Structures are given as C-alpha cells and as structure tokens.
Amino acid sequence: MGKGRKAQRPTGQKPRTQQPQAESDAERRRTWIVGVVCLVLGFAMGVVFTVYKTGGPAQPPHPQPSTGAPAQPSPEMLDRIRAMKEETRRHPDNAFAWIALGNGYFDTGQYQKSIEAYETGLQLDPKHADVWTDLGVMYRRIGNPEKAVEAFDKAISIDPSHEIARFNKGVVLLHDRNDPEGAIRAWRGLLEVNPEAMAPNGQPVAELLKQFEERQP
C-alpha cells in the first residue's frame, strides 16, 4: 500500500453522473492482523483495523475488536450498503461500488458477502493492493488461511512495499498454518522494505522478529 496514493477509477470506465457519494474520492484503507505469541509480541491475539473507507467522505479511524459479535450496524451504514447494492445492480461494471459494498459488509461482520463483493470488484479492477489485503483478512475470518495468504501475496506482487500485507502474511503463516519459518521469511521481507517498520502495538518489527527467532529451536 503505497502511502498517500489513492485508488484510480477503473480503466475504461466512463465518469457517471449522480454517482453515490461512496464512489467519490477513494480513501486509504489499512487493515492489520495482530497475531501473537504472548511471550514474544506481548499483546492479545486479535485484529486491529485502521480504516480509511474506499470512497465517500473521509471517516476517522476506528478500532474493531476481533472477538465477539460485530456492533449493531448504524442506520447510516445500512443506508450505505443499500446504496452500494443498488449501484452494483444498476452498474455491475462499477468496481468502486463493489469495493465499497465489500467495505460495508466487512465493517458489519458479513465476511462471506464481503469476500464476494471484493472479488467482483477486483475482477473488474485488480490493481488495488489495499483491497487484496482486506480480502485476505476476510478469508482469515472465515477460516481459510490458504486463500488469505494468496490474497496477501497478490497485494505484495502489486505493491512490494505493502508493509501491512507482509506483516499480515507472517501472522497467518505463524498462527493459522503453523509455519514459523514462513512467518520469519515474511517479516524479514518486511524489514527489507522498511528496516524501521513498526508492529500495530508500536514495537519495532525488527525487535519482535529477533525475540521470536531467539525462541525458535
């Protein structure tokens, strides 16, 4: 996820009039998976989201816990989902509308629907590393770590500097696929991209990796 970059309108898509607000300027969306080995990372396993919505007016980042039922959707969120569903019905080639719909399902805990919407949007416009990263998180939520890693790899292939995709890939490899060596490789790759990379809890990834490596047999 190149910092400061915004998603572009899908190639060949003509500007439309009276588009839903959620299809206007695409904001950044960053999704971290925070996985832990308690003695190493020192914080509880979960997912922390810092979300910049794809489309629509900018909204402040908000934390989203990884456990328990999703919060009751607000009327505004339900209206937004309905608007995006209508937009995708009327204009099924509108990649931004599908991605915005996926975001709505993401935020309301409708993981399978989010996956379906994201995948449709990515079929129309596959060049969004942020969306591939969110798709990977959704696959992890439904218990499919193989597809999650595939999505993170796709994000990295589009944007090799995508730190969140690299970090998340390591978490899934470690916790869901029992592949500590793969996790180490993923996090070493992250440090090659940015030696100063920080984990979501503010601890340097280099420090976390060193602690983890020291505990490996």
Which residues are registered as beta bridge partners of 46? 34
d(CA 31, CA 33): 7
Rounded CA separation 135/123 (Å):
13
40-75 tens-digit pLDDT: 443 323 332 322 223 332 222 223 333 344 568 899
Q: Structural domain boundaries of the chain?
A: 69-214
Residue 215 has pLDDT above 70, yes or no: yes
What pLDDT, in 10s, does the model give residues 141-155? 999 999 999 999 999
pTM over 0.75? The answer is no
Query: Is residue 195 scored above 80 in pLDDT?
Result: yes
Residue with tokens 């996956």: 115
Report d(CA 69, CA 153) in Å as an integer: 29
| Cα distance between residue 143 and residue 106, in whole Å | 15
* Topology of domain 69-214, CATH: 1.25.40
Spatial CA neighbour of 102 closest among 144, 90, 123: 123
62 is written with which tokens? 């908000």
Helix (H, G, I), strand (E, B) or coil at 109: coil
Q: How far is CA 39 from the centre of its chain?
A: 26
Cβ(27)–Cβ(53) under 8 Å?
yes
* One-letter identity of residue 74: S
